[in-house]
Amino acid sequence: MTTPESRRPTLMVVHAHPDDEASQTGGTLARYAAAGFRTVLITCTDGGQGDGAGGAKPGHHRHDPEQVAARRSKELALSAVALGLTDLIQLEYPDSGMAESVDETAFSKLDGEPIVQRLEALMHDYQPDVVVTYPPNGLSYHPDHIRTHELTVAALARIKQVGGFEKRSRTDAASVRVVPRLYYIAVSVSRLKTLRAQAEAVLEPGAWIPPLEIGVADDTVTTAVNVSAFWAEKLRALAAHASQADAAALLHALSVPQRQDPVEEYVRADPPWAGDRQEDDLFTGIPGVL
């Protein structure tokens, strides 16, 4: 059933862990939320393999995954408020962590079919015009990021196979069949180098800095969303994840004055981008979106 809420232009972002939404897509989510779009964030894992009390890492006797997950869920809720999100969905599968031997009950090892079905049902419920998730390498090669990519793309393929879903336009009575547009999160090499330089200038030796390996060639970035007007919201969302050292380090690095207008970058995966000019809006050309 189509409701007034489902007729709003809708952005769905599918992430692996609490804090990924702030570090990678916070400005984008805040920008579209402020413009009146429906912003749906799905977080697949509970984040239980993150930093524990006092910075305790997984495997340390003071690291309790259930306590970590509970705290990170509260932090995620605060981040969602900072970004103005309309919908937050926590699937709460066990975080895989980065250990060489991942527990068979962890998200990256679970049977994918029930998760694909769950994501497919959420897509039918929320009827997104645009879906954002990780590229095939997970951006950071984290097993949960890679699995999030695989399952999100599989769910979208099923939506596409049945011709999308029916969505009534905000501007007229006619309904249209919508197949969501798919974007992958990206960071261009040039912007990554700028970020690394900022981080090295302000962070203590040994602090986490995004590795060059996650960067993509500048000319492969199809879309750059200017988030300069929503930088403060992104930083507040990052600050909400106070228990996580990586989030705190990134917050410190991003809090210095920016050398250029901050953007969040993407690669349009489906339908493939065929233009000769870089997009500046995830919703360009989508019917019914002003």
Q: Where are the domains of the chain?
A: 10-187+218-250+262-270
Which among 38, 34, 31 has a CA at the least distance from the CA of 6? 38
pLDDT score at 233 = 98
Domain 10-187+218-250+262-270: state its class.
alpha beta
pLDDT score at 2 = 45
pLDDT score at 1 = 36
Q: Evaluate whether 169 touches 288 at the Cβ level (below 8 Å).
A: yes
What are the tokens at 70? 């509970």
pLDDT score at 36 = 97
What are the tokens at 103? 């527990």
Write out residues in the chain with pLDDT < 50, as ranges. Answer: 1-2
| Distance separating alpha carbons of residues 4 and 58, to the nearest angstrom | 45
Kindly give the pairing relationship between strand 38-45 and strand 165-168: unpaired
Question: What is the b/e burial string over 137-160, where b = at least 16 CB atoms within 10 angstroms of the residue's CB?
Answer: ebbbebbbbbbbbbbbbbbbeebe
pLDDT score at 24 = 96
Q: Is 235 helix (H, G, I), strand (E, B) or coil?
A: helix
